[in-house]
Amino acid sequence: QTIYLKDYAAPHHWVDTVHLTFTLAPQATRVLSRIAFVPNAENPGDLVLNGEQLTLLSLRIDGESVEYAVTDTHLTVAQADLPSGAFTFEAEVEISPQTNTALEGLYMSSGMYCTQCEAEGFRKITYYPDRPDVMGVFTVRVESELPVLLSNGNPVASGKGWAEWHDPWKKPAYLFALVAGDLIAHNDSFTTMSGKEVDLNIYVRKGDEDKCAFGMAALKASMTWDEEVYGREYDLDIFNIVAVDDFNMGAMENKGLNIFNSSCVLASPETSTDATFERVEGIIAHEYFHNWTGNRITCRDWFQLCLKEGLTVYRDQMFSGDMRSHPVKRIEEVLQLRARQFREDNGPLAHPVRPESFVEINNFYTATVYEKGAEIIGMLRRLVGDEAYYAGCALYFDRFDGQAVTIEDWLACFAQVTGRDLAQFQQWYSQAGTPRLSVTEAFSGDSFTLTFTQETPPTPGQAVKKPQVLPIAVGLIAADGTEVLPTTVLEMTQASQSFTFSGLAARPTASILRDFSAPVILTRDIDATTRAFLLAHDTDPFNKWEMGRMLAKDTLIAMITRNEAPAGDYLDALKAVLTDDSLDPAFRALTLGLPSQDDLAQTLFDAGQTPDPMAIYEAREALRHALAHHFADVLPDLFAQLDAGTFKPDADGSGKRSLRMSVLSLLSLIDAGKAAQGLFESADNMTEQAGSLLALLGAGKGEEELASFYAQWFHDRLVMDKWFMMQVATAAPLEAAQIVAKLTQHADFNAKNPNRFRAVFGALAANHAGFHAPDGGGYKLLADALIDLDSLNPQTTARLCTAFETWRRYDGDRQSMIRDQLMRILAKPDLSRDTTEMVTRILGD
């Protein structure tokens, strides 16, 4: 059944207060609810409550029994059977957390109870109007013999075997949370800008206490940042975070009780890489920032998901930039955006940032909603300027606090503050697809003219596209490398538009789309010499990196399609960056990084060619070897110099290690693995331990190290996820399927744990040549695993179906093998709604 944005209607009843009592038992938890309903005078009707997989034990309205109808999904009381005004609804239901492998609603993970209600999980806990525009004040009593009993808001009272919580802020049911377990708190406190003391806790299982300090520091930094940058203060006496091993996503912003996938909160130098530290910092910030962008102001309906997610991603990105390095962060964001969002936007799953319809909302927690949603906020800010941006945000917080609102409400604040008409800009929310922007340059007299043309290709359901508003940041650079025009934002609104710069002594070199100022694919006809010039002289770090990337791409495409040797100019330009000590090591590492195989496949496809995964793989390996040989004289010294000393997970240390690991991975191709073996033996941190192991595996070595890694870490599930993942990620194309099949037989493989499942099958999907191996073994293996997983966990199954979203890029043989597997998944009896929707959309028509 498809739900449409255009069909939105307010509920028949609003909620005032909610009282819940949970009597926890693994297979027979009782949930007693007392809900004060108020009829919606503007839309009177039946009382319609959602409810799934519940055993109803009793039901009363104002203390009396009443007629009702129950289906698999709803409980309805006819308007005629309801009291005329406000009333109290009471019900008791029974649920079974222990058998809940979907990890949605109330479930158990390693002996603890926990919840995940977003988007529509609360209906698996009790009967309720489970929609975000219905907001209530919750009081929750938890009864269990487990020592730690938590829910949203502030603690009210507790005794042996029970605890009571009250959340004074009204909220939609998707923000409800409950946790019960034998947990240890890492405790701290924070004084808010108005002087209120907040108790902070990160709750973890025994044995994880020593992995909380970094997350706690990130939480305090986030609280300070939101006060200083957005003027937003925390609003409860307590803020709790709980780490859970079995979790479908990264984390969840439940009011006052954030629940995290343990992989996104636990961190220690010995067990976590720099990338993990960075991710933990970003996700802690993200969930904390939701307290204002999501919780205090929430979404009217799930079509508005980007209202909270795009904005909150944008906020966490700015935070991470402030904590670390803005240029490095921006390059990482663009890499992600291109790898995930552009891929989505250019395939059968393309959808607007605000979708117009869905079957299963969980399928729309996508890179488009999150990352493109964040890009829209960034463009808005660039167009209106910092001052108006913050003024618009302040107006938004002020005007809509305590409400469930829409994208129109958000944009109206900026229209009001700036006096701008944002009608065309709003198209970014409704028009899917990545605009292609092309540019030509002309110089005459003292004037330089840039002429831009934009075009967005059709996407499913949207054949005809309109021009978007594009903020295009440009700068001009003279032949001697000096900047003659500092960064200037051009505002493009038409299909084709020219911008002229006068008073120039000579023809400049343009630096276009600085800081990646709009999420578009820019095509520009410039030669390798100009690219190398910009790589050396551009003052915009993003474009400087971008020029290196384009050179790498051109080199690889020439190697793949014309069997050419790697261009010497490119190798020299790259060497200059590699050895330039004046550049940030993190930036040098990013410049050294090669475009992914998936990126190359898309690039070839866009150029009208059929990508051959084996040829792409081989060219990329050949280029890695060419780089290693070309840099042979500098690699050993660089490796030695880049020792960051005592481990600190900050921007400086991680930047050095990042470059050091890039150097090591090349060095391992020419030193028989000596340096990597040495580092593997001596490393005192996971970044270098895993980095050296990866370097060895990437050079076809490391068997012994892999075994000793296992012996050292078999007891640590998050490190073991890496052990599984690294083997699949580095598997040679023709061996990948076999390695995956073997790993799924390993005693430590557990398909019920999403992290472990993704460590193996997510890594298979990401091993481009391995997944697309000519015999179709990768496709079949993944399809088998998805068919099995669907009965246990539809959400994670549906998400991994995206491995197939690019199928139309490839040759006829591969297309028909993939189609067969998709049809086989679709034919599974009782396939979940989640997976059915995804596979159907991927197949298209």
> Per-residue x/- mask for ligand ARG, residues 178 to 217, rule CB under 6 A?
----------------------------------------
Which does residue 400 bind out of ligand ARG, Zn ion, none, counting CB within 5 to 8 angstroms by kind?
A: none
Nearer to ligand ARG, 11 or 250 (CB): 250
| Amino acid at site 226 | D
Q: How far is the CB of 309 from Zn ion (least distance, A)?
A: 5
> Least CB distance from residue 270 to ligand ARG, whole Å?
28
CA distance 179 to 708: 37
Q: Which does 671 bind (CB under 5 to 8 A by kind): ligand ARG, Zn ion, none?
A: none
**Between helices 305-323 and 213-230, what is the axis angle to 10°?**
110
DSSP characters over 346-394 = TSTT---SS-SEES-GGGG-SHIIIIIHHHHHHHHHHHH-HHHHHHHHH
Nearest distance from residue 287's CB to ligand ARG, in Å?
A: 6
Residue tagged active-site, from 118, 278, 287, 688: 287
From the list ligand ARG, Zn ion, none, partner contacted by residue 260 (C-beta under 5 to 8 A by kind) = none
Least distance from ligand ARG to the Cβ atom of residue 574, Å: 37
CB 469 within 8 A of CB 491: yes
Give the footprint of Zn ion on this chain (CB under 5 A).
309, 312
Minimum Å gap between C-beta 286 and Zn ion is 5
Close Cβ partners of 44 (under 8 Å, ≥ 6 residues apart): 12, 79
Could you give the residue ranges of the DSSP H alpha helices within 498-612? 528-537, 541-562, 568-578, 585-592, 597-606
Distance CA 353, CA 172 (A): 22
Helix (H) or strand (E) holding 453: strand 447-455
Token output for 502: 């006068």
Nearer to ligand ARG, 151 or 248 (CB): 248
Beta bridge partners of 475: 511
Inter-residue contact 215 to 280 (CB < 8 Å): yes
**Count of residues binding ligand ARG (CB under 6 A)?**
14
> Based on CB atoms, which residue is closest to ligand ARG, 311 or 417?
311
Residues numbered 767 to 796 that lie near ligand ARG (CB under 6 A) are 795
365 is in the binding site of which of Zn ion, ligand ARG, none (Cβ under 5 to 8 A by kind)?
A: ligand ARG
Give backbone dihedrals phi and psi of 639, rounded to 5 degrees, phi first.
-60, -45
Closest CB to Zn ion among residues 264, 818: 264
Kindly write out the interface string for residues 103-132 of this chain, putting x where it contacts ligand ARG by CB under 6 A and - elsewhere.
-------------x-xx-------------
- H or E segment and range at residue 704: helix 703-713
Q: Is 281 part of the annotated catalytic residue set?
A: no
CB 752 within 8 A of CB 792: yes
Q: Which long-range contacts (CB under 8 A, 24 or more apart) does 120-125 make?
A: 120/50, 120/174, 120/361, 120/362, 121/174, 122/50, 122/173, 122/174, 122/176, 123/50, 123/51, 123/52, 123/73, 124/52, 124/53, 124/54, 124/95, 124/100, 125/31, 125/54, 125/95, 125/176
Angle CA 573–577–579, to nearest 5: 115
Q: How far apart are CA 438 and CA 496, in angstroms?
A: 9
Closest CB to ligand ARG among residues 365, 452: 365
Binding mask of the shown chain, residues 220 to 259, with x at each position contacting ligand ARG by CB under 6 A: ----------------------------xx-xxx------
**Smaller CB separation from ligand ARG, 305 or 729:** 305
State how far the Cα of 394 lies from the Cα of 292, in Å rounded to an integer. 11
Beta carbon of residue 317, minimum distance to Zn ion (angstroms, whole number) = 12
Nearest approach, Cβ of residue 376 and ligand ARG (Å): 16
Pair of tokens at residue 226: 């939101």
HSE-up (13 A, CA, CB side) for residue 475: 22
- Nearer Cβ to ligand ARG (290/544): 290
* 68, amino acid identity: Y
Closest contact distance (angstroms) between CB of 416 and ligand ARG is: 28
> Which of these, 178, 93, 106, lies nearest to 140 by C-alpha position?
178
Distance CA 207, CA 210 (A): 7
Query: Least distance to Zn ion from the beta carbon of 313, Å?
Result: 7
What is residue 135's three-state secondary structure? coil
Of Zn ion, ligand ARG, none, which one sits near residue 248, judging by CB under 5 to 8 A according to partner kind?
Answer: ligand ARG
Q: Please list the residues that pair with 736 across neighbouring strands.
A: none
Q: Contact at 8 Å (CB) between 261 and 244?
A: yes
Q: Of 255 and 768, which has the nearer Cβ to ligand ARG? A: 255
Q: Give the HSE-up count for residue 674: Cα atoms under 13 Å, Cβ half-sphere.
A: 6
**How far is it, in rounded angstroms, from Cα 325 to Cα 666?**
25
Longest dimension (CA), the chain: 88
* Identity of the residue, 226 or 253, whose beta carbon is nearer to ligand ARG in the bound complex: 253
Tokens of 462: 């949207």
CB of 289 to ligand ARG, least distance (A): 10
Q: Which of residues 313 and 623 has its CB atom nearest to Zn ion in the complex?
A: 313
Of the candidates 154, 284, 168, 152, the one whose C-alpha atom is nearest the C-alpha of residue 216 is 284
DSSP 163-232: EEEE--S-B-GGG--EEEESEEEEEEEEE-TTS-EEEEEEEEETT-GGG-HHHHHHHHHHHHHHHHHH--
Closer of 349 and 472 to ligand ARG (Cβ): 349
Asked if 450 interacts with ligand ARG (CB under 6 A), we say: no
C-alpha closest to that of 400 among 517, 334, 304: 304
- Which partner from the list Zn ion, ligand ARG, none does 249 bind, CB cut-off 5 to 8 Å by kind? ligand ARG
Nearer to Zn ion by Cβ, of 255 and 544: the residue is: 255
**Min CB(633)–ligand ARG separation in Å:** 47
Task: Read off the tokens for 534.
Answer: 């910009």
**680/687 Cα distance (integer angstroms):** 10
**How many H-runs (helices) and E-runs (strands) does the chain carry?**
30, 30
174 binds, among ligand ARG, Zn ion, none (CB under 5 to 8 A by kind): none
d(CA 143, CA 126): 16
Range 323-382, binding ligand ARG (CB under 6 A)? 362, 365
Q: Which is nearer to ligand ARG, 378 or 471 (CB)?
A: 378
Q: Shortest approach of ligand ARG to residue 364 CB, angstroms? A: 8
Please tell me what DSSP assigns to residue 789.
Answer: H
What does 118 bind: Zn ion, ligand ARG, none (CB cut-off 5 to 8 Å by kind)?
ligand ARG
| Distance of closest approach, residue 277 Cβ to Zn ion, in angstroms | 20
Which residues, numbered 308-327, are part of the site for ligand ARG (CB under 6 A)?
309
Chosen from ligand ARG, Zn ion, none, partner binding at 119 (C-beta under 5 to 8 Å by type): ligand ARG
Query: What H or E segment, with its residue span, contains residue 664?
Result: helix 651-667
Residues 263-292 that bind ligand ARG (CB under 6 A): 286-287
Known catalytic residues are 287
Interaction site with ligand ARG (CB under 6 A): 116, 118-119, 248-249, 251-253, 286-287, 309, 362, 365, 795
